[in-house]
Amino acid sequence: MREAEVFETVVKILTPHAKNQAALAGVKMDTNILDDLKVNSARLVDVVLAFEDAFDIEIADEEVDSVNTVGDCVRLVLAKAS
């Protein structure tokens, strides 16, 4: 799976949860999910489950602790899918 593909899917999953549409328009690998995109932390579970379904992977609770940016998500998915 290519990084660009994963990035695109990750952004698509984050889109309905992002309250800051301006940040979403210019989303990059170092965009912070909670601080920049303003995704409600309570919605994080839904986001993670959507990643699991979209990429057919299983993400442990502890792995979510180290996810802050869109790039963290992409790298985590790539590591899990490989």
Query: Residue 35 Cβ, how far from another protein at the closest point, in Å?
Result: 10
Interface with another protein in residues 9-68 (CB under 8 A): 34, 40-46, 48-49, 52, 58-62, 64-68
CA distances from 3 to 23, 31, 81 (A): 20, 16, 11
Query: Residue 43 Cβ, how far from another protein at the closest point, in Å?
Result: 7
CA distance 70 to 62: 17
Closest CA to 51 of 3, 4, 13: 13
Cβ distance to another protein smaller for residue 6 or 67: 67
Q: Which positions touch another protein (CB under 8 A)? A: 34, 40-46, 48-49, 52, 58-62, 64-68
